[in-house]
Amino acid sequence: MSVKIGPYTFDGVTYDAEADVLYLSVGDTAKAVDWDETPDGHALSFDEHGNLVGLTIVGARQLVEEADGELTLDLPVRVSSADLQHSFALSA
């Protein structure tokens, strides 16, 4: 099973019902070398290239229920300079 959230497809999905914690991963989370958190306090882990490899949502079921079935997450999104070149050209 996989879970798609925004541009990320998490192929590792584990839910601890007793603790209400959802663990999502992309590939091998053992490759994580850096950690951070979202503005909402969800844990993020990144590989050596800065790619997101893990997301931990504490209180996942409770958060979804409180949000009427829809949870908004602030996840890092990469934008390359090539994607922005057209925008830069508009001001020229």
pLDDT at residue 36 is higher than 70 = yes
Q: Do the beta carbons of residue 76 and residue 44 sit within 8 Å?
A: yes
Residue 58: per-residue pLDDT: 93
Distances (CA, A) of 11 to 8, 29, 52, 81, 85: 10, 11, 12, 28, 32
CA distance 43 to 36: 6
Residue 5: per-residue pLDDT: 87
Q: What is the pTM of this model?
A: 0.79
Among 19-23, 61-65, 82-86, 88-92, name the most confident range: 19-23
Residue 79: per-residue pLDDT: 65
